[in-house]
Amino acid sequence: MLQIAQQAVWVTLKLVVPILGAALVVGLAVSILQALTQINDQTLSFFPKLLATVLTVVLLGSWMLTILVDYARALWTSLPSLI
């Protein structure tokens, strides 16, 4: 059971890190832009991060789905040995 939980955590990290990384980079760039121009509008940082997140999911969605399907397939095939 611990191995399954460990694999689930690794799969979750593999799926989440690219999305959070893109949002982090875009958020940092927008924050620097806001600091330079002294424009402090919260919607200015929200929409670029949302766009980066959606774009990352669109571009890496097939890779993410492949990882998720591989994990589910491995889980289903190991299910009889767990019972």
* DSSP result, 21-36: HHHHHHHHHHHHHHHH
Question: Can you read off the two tokens belonging to residue 57?
Answer: 């999911």
Quick: pLDDT tens for 29-62: 999 998 898 888 877 888 999 999 999 999 999 9
**Per-residue pLDDT reduced to its tens digit, 7-34:** 999 999 999 999 999 999 999 999 999 8
Mean pLDDT, the chain, integer: 91
Q: E strands within the chain?
A: none
> Would you state the pLDDT for residue 4?
87
- pLDDT at site 1: 79
pTM for this one?
0.79
Does position 82 have pLDDT exceeding 80, yes or no? no
What ranges do the domains of the chain cover?
2-78
